[in-house]
Every structure is written in structure tokens, then in C-alpha cells.
Amino acid sequence: MYVPQTDDLRQTLADVAGLDELLAAGVFPDLTADVVDAVLAEAGRFAAEVLAPLNREGDRHGCRLDAATHAVTTAPGWRKAYRAWSEAGWAALPCPAEYGGQGLPILVGLAVQELWNTAASAFGIGTLLTQGATEAIAAHGSEALRRAYLPHMVSGRWTGTMNLTEPQAGSDLAGIRTRAERAGDGSYRLSGTKIFITYGEHDLTDNIVHLVLARLPDAPPGTRGLSLFLVPKFLPDERGEPLRRNDLKCIGLEEKLGIHGSPTCTLRFGDEEGAVGFLVGEENRGLACMFTMMNNARLHVGMQGVAVAERATQQARAFSRERRQGRIGDEVVAIVRHPDVQRMLADMEVRTQAARAICFATARALDLSRHGRSAEERQAEGSLAALLTPVAKAFGTDTGSEVASLGVQVHGGMGYIEETGAAQHLRDARICQIYEGTNGIQAIDLVTRKLTLEGGRTFARWTEGVRRTVACLEAHGETKEVAGEISCALAGLETATDRLTGWLASHDERALAGATPYLRLFGLVAGAEGLARGALAALARNEPAAGDRRLWRARYFARNHLPLASGLVAVVTEGGDTLAEGAPLLVGA
């Protein structure tokens, strides 16, 4: 049973991301609050009625590869659902209007994507990648490529993929070996093998548009020698009809822990004459272009973690009210009556809300980096989005896994049995911490590239924003203690930041050793601030019923999660020494 979380999403959009204020200020001139409400309501209905019932079937059945034809078949019902999804116009929602899209803000697109991913994350990930590919082509593709491909991707007629990974090139893309040769007519011929390509082959659409990182023969070594190519499964004519099968095929499908409904493919390019590819952006500038897609995908994968956490939380809550075990007095009670179960449910709910708040704060910054009033505002918001993206990705996806694990625990033994579905959420959530850059890589990105943005001014501006929220919290009796906890955790974060940036400047490896606990610390403060904004909005509107829950979430998080901040500060600032001591033991002879 899945109930679309449209109310929570709407509140987060209003309270954390300030969407209604942005609408009132005319930042999105063609959008009204009524339209946002209608989009969320309709997406929620589609997610619950069409996608959610597919979740178990996708998990049980998975995808099949026909080794003779290289064709991949998705689980029963998926093709029909995809048709209904694209015919309803959902693919177009966040896409540019000039290619047939609806041009809605990233904030609204993210909320809708959360609904798809809560209903069936193995379905959601495919739509999310197409959206990222669309964005990369719109930003960097030539006019001809944009005209030929984007309308079909925006309509949902074709899907898109991201082809980075090779057996020897995972986190480190410098090792990419896929080759691209100039064909002399402006196009290129690609050859090589890509692994782990999500929706690299499937039966949902007639064509698939692959964005492939490859290396030209005369390219410089490392990531500075990577170029980005658009490589369609079928080369289309000017109406988009398939003209010719391109020289690429799926030669393997991974058996994996979760998201069984999503085909994870090994793709071979160029076994014969070479796969025809078209340059996106400039030669040897491919990684920068791919980052348009990867940044979008990182935020959305963070949200995917939140989405699975939401689903696990809903399921655990319902189970805890039905399962009777243990007594209070003479009465055999539902397990939800036991404080330890209540603690698990509370942790699940507030962690999910906190991580959602971080994702939406990031989306707001991304929207304002495009639609802000002045160049200065757009630049500042772009830097803020860059700072928050690794936190949204890693904190969101850690939340997905940890909340889904708690969901199994709430179910007891039944959680470990596939029948309840609680185990599927845990299996599905786990990949989010790995793909789109592992969470370890996100933490290193935060510490080495993002804290130093604008010489540290981006981080300083963000902390000023947290302090403004704290000042508002201090003005209300109900939130004074939350203010105290956030202030304390923020001071700890600043201490840890100073230490890490100092180590970074002197090339001390302790900066890298402390990155993961530092990101968790950052996420705690950012999540607490997001929940605090919700509480403040409820107090401002004087809404006792809804307000009570939002106030409680902020207070619970402040009392039960923020105290962990001081421990994390100690790990960041002092833990690296003993790690270094153990390094020879760990590395081995």
C-alpha cells in the first residue's frame, strides 16, 4: 500500500524552498500555485495507481536478455506503464518549452520525480537519466542535434542514457578507453565496451539515445582527453523514423542486489564499422559537458534515496499498527505502542524529512542559478547549488539505506522475508550510495572542491543563512531549544571546516580521511535547518494540527540527532591520526 506523499512534498516546496514566495515574486512567470498543486495531485495519482503496483513485479521478474538478438525485455506491465507515462506528458515536465517541454522549475520536477521513485525506483531511475541526458544535449549539443533528438526525448518517445563506466574506469574516469575516430564527414566512429549502463537496452521505446564518453586518437591523457558523443541505437531520418541500426549492442545484463526492474547493461560499441556518434560540445571538453548531466543526476539520486526512505517509512508505520506483540499490562498491543518501535518510526520519519529538505534547498539554488534576478544572484546561487549537491546526494542516499534498514527492523523476522516487501526497499536503496559517484567520492568533492568555492565565501554565505534561521527560532518559545542545538552543531561544523581546509592547504591526507564524517556532520546541520524552516512556517501560519507535527520533527531531530554532531566533529578533527597509524596494517605487505 502506497499513499502519495503529496502533502509533505507541497509543504517542503513551500516552507523549505520558499516556492510560493518565488511564485509571488514572479521568478517563474508562467507558473501559479494552483498549477503546482494540480501537477502534484495528478502525479501522485499516477504513481499510486500505475507505477506502485509494478514495484514487486519488477523486483521478482527482473529484465531478460535474448543473447541471440541482444534485445532486453522489461518485466510484465512495464512497457504499458511507460507508454501511459509518456502519453500523459510526464517526460516533458521539466524540459525546455522550445523542444515541446513544459519548462517547469527543477523544484517541481524534483517533487514529481520523488513520486515516481517512491512508487517504483527501478522505473524512476530510467526517467531521471533521460531527463539528465536531455539537459546535457540542450546545454551543449549543436542546433542540429538538439532539433533532431530533443523533441523525441522530451515527448518520451525515446529514452537517454549515460555511458561513463568501463571495467577499468569507475570512480576514476581518466582510465576510459572507448575510442572515437573522426569519420571525415563531421561524425565519429566509436568502439569500446561500457559496463553497468542503466536502461542501456530495453523494450520501452523504439530508440535509445546514448551519451558516451570516449577518447580521440590524438587526445591528451587523463580526463582532459575525454569527449562526449551522442550515439543513437537507431540512426533516425528527419522525422525520427529509424533509418539504420547503429553498430552497438547489449552483450550482458547484470544480476544485482536490487532495482531488478531496471536493466543494467554491458554495451559493445563498434564491433563492425564503428558506432556512428556525434560530438556534443567540443573535442576533449566532454567531461565538463557530462557534468551538466551528472550534477542533475546526483541531486536526483539523492532524492531517489529519500523516495525509497519514504516508501519504507510508510510501510513500517502501517505494519507497526497491525502487528501485535508484547504486553502493556494485560493487553497484547500493536508493536507501535513500544517506545523502541516508536523510536525507529520517529527516526525514519525525521531522517526522511531532513534529507528531503536538503534536496529541495539544493533544487531551489539550482532554479535561482537560472532564474535569479541579477547575474550576481545567479552566480551565488549556482555556487550554493554546487556546495549542497554532494550533501544532497550522499546524505539523501545514506538516509535511503539506513531508513530502509530500520524498516526491516520494524518488521522483525518478516522484514527479512521477501513477502512483505520491506527487504526490497533495502536492496533497492543500496545502489544509490554507489552510483552517480560513490558517497565517498561525494565527500571528497565536498571537502576538496566545494568548501573552497569562491575562497570559502560560498560556505560562509550558507552558514549566514543557517544563523538567520537560528535567530528566527530564538524568537519563539517553542523552538528556542532547537535554536540552541543548531547553533552548537553549526559551531562544531565551522571548527571541523577550518581544520579540514587547513589540512587541505598543506596537502595533509587527514583532510581526505575526515571527508565522510564531515559530510554527515554537514548533512545533520543542513537537515536540522530544513526541518526548522518547516516548524517556523507552521508557527507563522498558526496551524496547530500540521504545525504540531512539523514542530515535533524539528524538536525531535534537534534532540535525538544533532547531539551526534559533536561526536562527528571529534572524528573529523582527531580520528585521522589513528587511521594514519593503521594505514600500513590496512594496506598490507
* List of residues contacting ligand FAD (CB under 6 A): 161-165, 170-171, 196-198, 256, 264, 431, 434-435, 437-438, 440-441, 444
CB of 108 to ligand FAD, least distance (A): 25
Q: Closest CB to ligand FAD among 189 and 393? A: 393
38: its cell numbers: 494540480
436 catalytic residue (yes or no): yes
Q: Which residues partner with 276 through β-bridges?
A: 189
Residue with cell 533509418: 243
Distance CA 7, CA 429 (A): 23
For the record, the C-alpha cell of 312 comes out as 519504507
Q: How far is the CB of 555 from ligand FAD (least distance, A)?
A: 35
Nearest approach, Cβ of 160 to ligand FAD (angstroms)?
10
Q: Which three cell numbers stand for residue 174?
A: 581518466
**Minimum CB separation from ligand FAD for residue 148, in Å?**
23
Q: How far apart are alpha carbons 80 and 569 in whole angstroms?
A: 51
Residue 212 or 466 having the CB closest to ligand FAD: 212
User: C-alpha angle 387/398/115, rounded to 5°?
Assistant: 85
What residues have CB less than 8 Å from 485, skipping those under 6 apart? Answer: 528, 558, 559, 562, 563
Cell of 327: 504486553
Q: Are 520 and 347 in contact (CB under 8 A)?
A: no
CB 216 within 8 Å of CB 180: yes
Q: Which 3 state secondary structure label does DSSP give 192?
A: strand
CA gap 19, 16 in Å, rounded: 8
Q: For residues 436 and 485, which CB has a smaller minimum distance to ligand FAD in the complex?
A: 436
**Nearer residue to ligand FAD within complex by CB, 12 or 161:** 161
Q: List the beta bridge partners of residue 324.
A: 334
For the chain, what is the total number of helices (H) and then of strands (E)?
20, 14
Residue closer to ligand FAD by CB (options 540, 583) is 583
Q: What is the dihedral of CA 263, 269, 275, 278, to 10 degrees?
A: 70
Contacts of 309 by beta carbon, 8 Å cutoff, 6+ apart: 348, 351, 352, 355, 399, 400, 403, 404, 429
Pairwise CA distance, residues 313 & 426, whole Å: 11
Output 384 or 515, the one with its CB closest to ligand FAD: 515
> What is the Cα–Cα distance from 387 to 392, expressed in whole angstroms?
9
Q: Which residue is nearest to ligand FAD (CB)?
A: 170
Nearer Cβ to ligand FAD (139/173): 173
Locus of grid cell 567531461: 287
Name the minimum Å distance from CB 542 to ligand FAD: 47
Strands 226-232 and 207-215: antiparallel
Least distance to ligand FAD from the beta carbon of 171, Å? Answer: 3
- In the bound state with ligand FAD, the residue whose beta carbon lies nearer, of 18 and 200, is 200
Q: Each residue of 398-426: b (16+ CB within 10 Å) or e?
A: bbbbbbbbbbbbbbbeebeeeebbbbbbb
Q: Enter the C-alpha cell of residue 260.
A: 531488478
Q: Please list the residues that pair with 215 across neighbouring strands.
A: 179, 226
In the complex, minimum distance from the CB of residue 111 to ligand FAD, in angstroms, rounded to a whole number: 23
Work out how close the CB of 516 gets to ligand FAD at its nearest, in angstroms, rounded to a whole number: 9
Nearer to ligand FAD, 78 or 196 (CB): 196
Least distance CB 572 / ligand FAD (angstroms): 16
> How far apart, in Å, are the Cα atoms of 456 and each of 34, 69, 280, 459, 501?
39, 54, 33, 6, 9
Distant-in-sequence, close-in-space partners of 585: CB < 8 Å, separation ≥ 6: none
Tell me the CB-side half-sphere exposure of residue 156, using CA atoms within 13 A: 20
Q: How many residues does the chain have?
A: 589
CA distances 230 to 142, 191, 223, 378, 572, Å, are 11, 13, 18, 29, 42
Q: How far apart are CA 332 and CA 348, in angstroms?
A: 25
Between residues 251 and 434, which has the closer beta carbon with respect to ligand FAD? 434
* 402, 436, 485, 529: the active-site residue: 436
Least Å from the CB of residue 135 to ligand FAD: 15
Asked if 479 and 536 touch (Cβ cutoff 8 Å), the reply is: yes
C-alpha radius of gyration, the chain, whole number: 24
In the complex, what is the shortest distance from the CB of residue 314 to ligand FAD, in angstroms, rounded to a whole number?
A: 24
For ligand FAD, which is the closer residue by CB, 443 or 532?
443
Show which residues are catalytic.
436
